[in-house]
């Protein structure tokens, strides 16, 4: 390393892979095509105690001693366009289990469902920084995704994932196997809404944006005596929200969200329920499939509670639009299913 070393972000990469067990680093990692990434320890400090006699003597220093480091947790953040390969290990890091069917000619369908807390996978991440003096690597092991957002606009579908890791260190050993991400993006203008049901009304109005938020709360304070490392990061809860916004206002969707049913006339005082089944696809097909099929991402939630988002408002010559927030309920056998179709035989 020299005083003139520089690191350009475009030469870096972030990769993530599922571990076979806690404590065993993954040997196959999926290298995401990211727009932003980071991986670093987040330190915990014990504040300096105001003790007497002070080490500062007769001068009253607020920091007579250095703050003690009591532990750390690895923190990673990565933002990337939705592509069909790397999203699967990210979802596994969020608690999903995967079952795969298909073939090279039919495409592989990976069906992801939320597993039990004890079946929650651990992941390894590698962050490479390519500076002018040569690359250096940071590896984090025993991690889980704490939050994932998938934001759909009319231009693109972007994902942001945040991870916590039990251990993190510089890496200089034998490199793992890296799987190259597919160049094809899942795009917002190709796909279908099989069903967006609000209070029994099937939404047909124009929708201009959507966001899926996965909040995977982990117990990050599980520490023990004789160690600065965490013992575990057990899941505390999983919460999934699907929000649709900039929806053209209509009497049907207004009545469904506020009165509980299309053609309703009184304010709903009970929960408004429904379901979601939407999908997006790639512009190009999977090479070698017959018949040709595209890459695909599908979100299915059979039990959803709807709540109004932004209230419709008339302003100037703007279109009047509305938004709706759907909260996935865990009161059915399979509350959340995500299907990914790609050319990966197994995860």
pLDDT of residue 2: 56
Average of per-residue pLDDT values in the chain: 94
pLDDT of residue 5: 66
Q: Write the CA distances from 301 to 2, 60, 247, integer angstroms.
A: 53, 61, 20
Spatial distance between the Cα atoms of 83 and 95, rounded to a whole number of angstroms: 19
Separation of CA 36 from chain center? 14
* Per-residue model confidence as pLDDT tens digits over 227-263: 888 899 999 999 999 999 999 999 999 999 999 999 9
Task: Name the more confident of 100 and 129.
Answer: 100
- What is the token pair recorded at 32? 């995401």
* Per-residue model confidence as pLDDT tens digits over 266-306: 999 999 999 999 999 999 999 999 999 999 999 999 999 99
Name all contacts of 224-232 with Cβ < 8 Å and 24+ positions apart: 228/69, 228/70, 228/71, 228/72, 229/71, 229/166, 229/167, 230/71, 230/73, 230/166, 232/166
* Per-residue model confidence as pLDDT tens digits over 102-158: 999 999 999 999 999 999 999 999 999 877 566 789 999 999 999 999 999 999 999
Q: In this structure, are residues 28 and 19 in contact, taking their beta carbons and an 8 Å threshold?
A: no
pLDDT band at 53 (very low <50, low <70, confident <90, very high): confident
- What is the token pair recorded at 42? 């987040």
pLDDT of residue 6: 74
282 forms beta bridges with 186
Specify the residue for token string 């947790």. Answer: 73
- Does the N-terminal peptide bond of residue 291 adopt cis geometry, omega within 30 degrees of 0? yes
Q: Look at the pTM and tell me if it is higher than 0.75.
A: yes
> Can you say whether the dihedral through the CA atoms of 250, 254, 260, 266 is positive or negative?
negative
pLDDT band at 3 (very low <50, low <70, confident <90, very high): low
Residues 6+ apart with CB under 8 A from 125: 14, 15, 16, 29, 39, 74, 76, 139, 140, 143, 163, 165
Spatial distance between the Cα atoms of 306 and 324, rounded to a whole number of angstroms: 7
* Per-residue model confidence as pLDDT tens digits over 170-205: 999 899 999 999 999 999 999 999 999 999 999 999
pLDDT of residue 4: 57
| 157-171 vs 134-152, strand pairing mode | antiparallel
Share of the chain above pLDDT 70, in %: 97
pLDDT of residue 7: 75
| pLDDT over 70 at 216, yes or no | yes
pLDDT of residue 133: 64
Which residue from 312, 298, 302 is spatially nearest to 340, judged by alpha carbons? 298
Which residue from 152, 139, 156 is spatially nearest to 17, judged by alpha carbons? 139
Query: Coil, helix or strand for 12?
Result: coil
- For 208-235, what is the mean pLDDT? 93
pLDDT band at 341 (very low <50, low <70, confident <90, very high): very high
pLDDT band at 63 (very low <50, low <70, confident <90, very high): confident
């Amino acid at each position: 390393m020299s005083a003139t070393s520089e690191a350009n972000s475009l030469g870096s990469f972030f990769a993530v892979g599922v571990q076979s067990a806690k404590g065993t680093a993954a040997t196959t990692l999926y290298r995401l095509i990211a727009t932003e990434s980071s991986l670093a320890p987040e330190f915990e400090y014990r504040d300096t105690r105001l003790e007497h006699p002070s080490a500062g003597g007769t001068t009253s220093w607020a920091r007579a001693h250095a703050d003690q480091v009591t532990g750390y947790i690895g923190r990673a953040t990565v933002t990337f366009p939705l592509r069909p390969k790397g999203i699967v290990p990210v979802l596994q890091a969020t608690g999903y289990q995967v079952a795969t069917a298909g073939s090279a000619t039919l495409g592989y369908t990976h069906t992801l469902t939320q597993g039990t807390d004890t079946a929650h996978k651990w992941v390894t991440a590698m962050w490479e920084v390519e500076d002018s003096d040569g690359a250096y690597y940071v590896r984090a092991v025993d991690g889980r995704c704490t939050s994932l957002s998938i934001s759909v606009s009319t231009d693109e579908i972007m994902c942001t994932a945040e991870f916590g890791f039990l251990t993190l260190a510089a890496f200089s050993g034998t490199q793992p196997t890296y799987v190259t991400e597919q160049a094809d993006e899942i795009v917002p203008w190709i796909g279908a809404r099989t069903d967006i049901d609000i209070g029994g009304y099937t939404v047909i109005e124009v929708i201009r944006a959507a966001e899926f938020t996965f909040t995977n709360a982990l117990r990050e304070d599980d520490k023990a005596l004789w160690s600065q490392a965490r013992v575990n990061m057990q899941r505390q809860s999983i919460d999934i929200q699907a929000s649709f916004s900039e929806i053209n206002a209509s009497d049907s969707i207004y009545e469904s969200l506020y009165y509980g049913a299309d053609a309703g006339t009184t304010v709903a005082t009970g929960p408004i329920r429904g379901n979601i089944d939407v999908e997006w696809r790639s512009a190009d097909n999977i090479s070698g499939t017959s018949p040709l099929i595209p890459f695909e991402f599908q979100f299915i939630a059979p039990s959803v509670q709807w709540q109004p988002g932004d209230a419709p408002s008339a302003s100037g010559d703007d279109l009047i639009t509305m938004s709706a927030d759907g909260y996935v309920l865990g009161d059915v056998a399979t509350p959340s299913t995500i299907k990914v179709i790609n050319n990966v035989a197994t995860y």
